[in-house]
Amino acid sequence: MVPEDFPAIDRLMERVWFARRSAEGFDWLCHRNPGQAGCVTGWVAEDRDGIVRAFLGNFVQRGWQRGQENLIASGYNFVSDADQGGRAVNVLRACLKQESIALVHTLTANPFSGRLHTAMRLTPYPETGTLKLDWMTQPLVAVTGAISWRAHGLLKQKYIRRFPDIPRRAPDVNAWLAEADGDVVRIEHPEGDVRLAAFDAELRKGERLFAERSPAALHWRLNDPDDPVPPVLAAYPSTGAIRGLAMFQFNKPSEGEPPYLDVIDLVSLDPEDSAAIQALMKTGMTLAVRSGAARLRLAMVPPGLLKLLGSFANRARKTVSQYSHAFYKPKATTFDCTLETWQPLPFDGDNGPCLRAWRVRQPK
C-alpha cells in the first residue's frame, strides 16, 4: 500500500460501511503509530486494469512478555470485491509471511473471512473467542436503531444511504466523571505520565503477553485526526499506583446502526483484581448512559476477564458468533500464546483505530 492507493481504499471501505479516512487520518494510522516500527502498513491487490480490488491493513504494535519485546501485527479492514477471492487470499498471505513479526492475528471475522482464516490454518482463539457482551443503556435508541437496520435490509441498502449520520452533541466526559461515584480518573494527556509508565513497565515484566501501553502509544491512540471525540482513557485508582486501565470509545458502527460506546481496553495489573475491573466498568456505564449511547459493548471477552466482570457479565446480552473473533499464527517461539498467557482485547487489534466516529455538532 502506498499513499496513491488511499482514495481507492476509501471506496472499498465505503462499500462495506467501514470508516473512511482523510489523508491526515491515513497518515496518523499508517505512519505516526509508534509501534509500526517501519513495517509495511498494508497491501492492495489490483486487477489487470490497475484498479484496487482488495485491501488488508497491517497494524503493528510492540508486544511484551517476561521483559522481552517483539512485534505483533494485526490484519485490519480485510476487504475485497465479491468476485476477487483469489486476490483476497494473496493479501492475506502477504500479511502472514512477514518475517519480522512474532505474532500475526486478526480480531474480527465475518463468515467469509472466518472460513478463509480456517482454510489457511490460522489458529482460532478458544473458549470465549466467539463471545461478545453488551449492556443496553438507552432502550429507545437501541430499538430505533434496530428498526433502521431492518429497513436497510428490506430495501437492499438504499434506504439508509439517503439519511446521513445525525450530528450529536459532543460528550461532556469530564463533567460526567466528576459526578460519578468511583475512584477513577481520566487521563487526557498520557505523554509524560509517570503512573502510566510504571503500569506499562509492570505489565511488560509479567507472564502474560500484552501489547504496549506506554504513554507514547496511548498518546497516539487519543489523537486520531478523524475522530472529533477522543477515546476516554481511565485509570483506577485516581491516585497512587495504577491497578487497572480502561479505554472507552464513542462510535457508530455504520450509517444504519445507533451510536455505541465500546470498551477498547480493560486490564488490571493483578489478574485477580476484580475491584479494579468493576470500578472501570461502572465508569463506562456512566459514560454510556449520559452520552445517549444505545449500548456499552465489549467485543472481545477472554476467559480471565469474563471471570473478573462478575455480576456485570450476568447482566449483559451475550452474542455468540459462528466463527471466532480471533485467529492467530505465532511466527516464532518467542511468545507464549497459551490461553493463560495471551488474552486478546479490542486494544490488541483494529477495533479502536478503525471504528466509525460520531458526527458531532459544530459550535456556532
* Structural domain boundaries in the chain: 3-125, 129-325+343-348
Longest distance between any two alpha carbons in the chain, whole Å: 60
pLDDT for the residue 162: 44
Domains 3-125 and 129-325+343-348 share a fold: yes
pLDDT for the residue 163: 46
H-only helix segments in the chain: 6-15, 23-31, 85-96, 111-119, 139-154, 173-179, 194-205, 215-221, 274-291, 303-309, 311-314
pLDDT for the residue 313: 94
Cα separation, 321 vs 182, in Å, equals 34
Q: Which residues of the chain have pLDDT under 70?
A: 84-85, 148-149, 151-165, 363-364
Mark 132-159 as b/e (b = at least 16 C-beta within 10 Å): bbbbbbbeebbeebeebbeebeeeeeeb
Q: In CATH, what is the architecture of 129-325+343-348?
A: 3-Layer(aba) Sandwich (3.40)
**CATH superfamily, region 3-125:** Gcn5-related N-acetyltransferase (GNAT) (3.40.630.30)
Peptide bond into 237 cis (omega under 30): yes
Count of C-beta atoms within a 10 Å radius of residue 44: 21
